[in-house]
Amino acid sequence: MTERYQVTIQSQLGPREGVLTLCHQGNYVTGSLDLVGYVNTVRGVRAADGTLHLFHPIQTVVSTIPCETVLHLRAGSLRGTSTSSSARMRWEGTLLHSEPREESEL
């Protein structure tokens, strides 16, 4: 299944809008975070309770920040927190689109 979320990340420089795309393959999750003009690769796992544990960079004009993000998905919305060595950033998002897995992916 592929899902796209409109997300807002509360960074140290204020809110940043972006799109998070997630591709679920069993418990594994891959995808991308399109944020401030950069597309960042996302990978992680979905825990038994449905919580997503993602690992990804957040690239900016001045640096690339490696992050660990924990997200809670519920009824078409997400909430969570990214943690890096220099900051914690809160996430909120809304489901834009969801596609079931195609036959070739089964």
Q: Cα dihedral sign for 96, 67, 34, 91?
A: positive
Q: Domains, the chain, ranges and CATH?
A: 2-97 (2.40.128.120)
Predicted confidence pLDDT, tens digits, the chain (106 residues): 899 999 999 988 899 999 999 999 999 999 999 998 999 999 999 999 989 999 999 998 888 999 999 999 998 899 999 999 988 999 999 999 988 865 444 4
CA distance 99 to 38: 24
Distance CA 39, CA 64 (A): 12
**Buried/exposed code over 63-78 (b: 16+ C-beta within 10 A; e: otherwise):** eebebebbbebeeeeb
pTM as predicted: 0.89
Q: Rounded CA gap, 39 and 3, in Å? A: 16
CA–CA separation, 33 and 57 (whole Å):
9
